[in-house]
Every structure is written in C-alpha cells, then in structure tokens.
C-alpha cells in the first residue's frame, strides 16, 4: 500500500483544508464555485475493494463531498446536510487509473438543492481528456440551516479557494 503524503504536505493542500476525508484518499480539488466543483484522484490500493477496482463507497464519498462543497457556497454559506444520495456505477477503475469528478447543480432552492455528479476515467496520465463515464450520482441536500459556532471557520476556508 502507498503511504499518505507527509504531514507538512497535508497542511499546504487546498483539499486538506476543505475536506479531510477527500484529502486522505488522495483526491485533489481543482475548481470550487457555486456552479461547479471538480477534482481528480489517482486510484491507489487503499481506494480499492478486494477485487482491485475502485470501491463504490469511495465514488459515493467523492460525489457527496464535492456536491456538499458546491451547495455550501450556493446557499450563501449556510450549513448543508446530504439527505439522499443515489449513485450508479457504469464502469470500473483500477490502481493507477486517473479519475475526474465534477458536481454541478440541477436545482438551487432555498431549502433543498439537487446536484449531479459524474466520475470519469481519464484517457491517460498526462491528458485531461475524459475517456469513459464510470459513475453518475444525484445528491439531494438540505441547505437552510445555520452554521454552528464550532464550524464557522469552514466558511472562511472555502471563501479562500472559491470562485465567487
């Protein structure tokens, strides 16, 4: 199994500041906005199920996490909570495959938001060209809740990286 990045490298990462769980699996967030959140992952053994393919739970975690980041921004930085996640797995990815994930809003209501998330396998390591759709998800989030005091720093961290 591959080792996680050193602690000092974790502190510098945008993903580490925005979502620890995504950072811990090696996901890297690229674009952060109310209209789109995306990023990429190089599949490692620690992300795979016993059959050596990307674990569906990892795909689901990525989908809910990046949709939640976008919903938090789109709601004016209100607290969000996922209330429903539906994911379909169309193709698999194996160790060293590059995966690109992107979340976009389908509905931005005052109480409920619905985000669509797609995960694609990339053509090769040096390309940013999408090869095949691996998974598609729909994430429904409750978005009208106040942010608790202990979580107020999340807004400032997100504003640091968001395209507002």
Tokens of 92: 């698999």
Tokens of 129: 């060209």
Tokens of 69: 């980041």
* Residue tagged active-site, from 28, 45, 64, 155: 64
47 touches 58 (CB < 8 A): yes
Is residue 9 annotated as a catalytic residue, yes or no? no
Measure the CA–CA gap between 124 and 76, rounded to whole angstroms. 37
Measure the CA–CA gap between 59 and 22, rounded to whole angstroms. 11
Place of tokens 């080792």: 3
Residue 110 CB neighbours (<10 A): 10
Active site residues: 64
């Amino acid at each position: 199994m591959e080792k996680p990045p050193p602690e000092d490298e974790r502190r510098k990462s945008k993903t580490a500041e925005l979502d620890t769980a995504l950072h811990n699996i090696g996901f890297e967030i690229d674009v952060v906005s109310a209209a789109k959140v995306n990023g990429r992952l190089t599949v490692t053994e620690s992300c795979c199920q016993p059959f050596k393919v990307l674990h569906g739970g990892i795909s689901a975690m990525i989908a809910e996490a990046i949709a939640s980041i976008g919903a938090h921004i789109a709601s004016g930085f209100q607290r969000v909570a996922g209330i429903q996640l539906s994911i379909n797995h169309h193709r698999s990815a194996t160790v060293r495959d590059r995966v690109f994930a992107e979340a976009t809003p389908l509905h931005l209501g005052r109480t409920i938001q619905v985000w669509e998330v797609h995960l694609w396998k990339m053509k090769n390591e040096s390309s940013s060209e999408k090869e095949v759709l691996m998974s598609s998800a729909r994430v429904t989030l409750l978005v009208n809740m106040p942010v608790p005091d202990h979580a107020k720093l999340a807004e400032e961290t997100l504003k640091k990286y968001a395209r507002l």
